[in-house]
Amino acid sequence: MADNDSLANKAKQFANTATNKAKQLADTTAQTARSVATTVQQKLDEPENKERIAKAKKAACQAGQQLKSTASTVGSRARDTFVNVKGKVAERLSSGN
């Protein structure tokens, strides 16, 4: 019975130690994450970076508009081609060729 109690105590100590280590690791990770987030925010707040970010957003917006326009043009051409081919097929089917 004493062996079981000894094993139980050792298991409890091990669990407590593991829990404490896990908490320490979580705290360290959280501190590191906060530090990185603060550094990134400071960099983003620097005037030259704000300007670069604004330019990048504008370029991305323009690229998105261009892509939308191109997709619309391609879609229209595909639809026109489909209607044209459909008409030719219907014409051939009705003429018996």
As given in the structure block, the two tokens for residue 22 are 């896990």
> Going residue by residue through the chain (97 aa), what tens digit of pLDDT does each one get?
567 778 778 888 888 888 888 889 898 999 999 999 888 888 888 888 888 888 888 999 899 899 888 988 888 888 888 888 888 888 888 886 5
For 53-64, what is each residue's pLDDT tens digit? 888 889 998 998
What are the structural domain ranges in the chain? Answer: 1-45
Q: Which residues contact 49 (CB under 8 A, 6 or more apart)?
A: 43
Q: What does DSSP assign to residue 97?
A: -
pTM for this prediction? 0.44
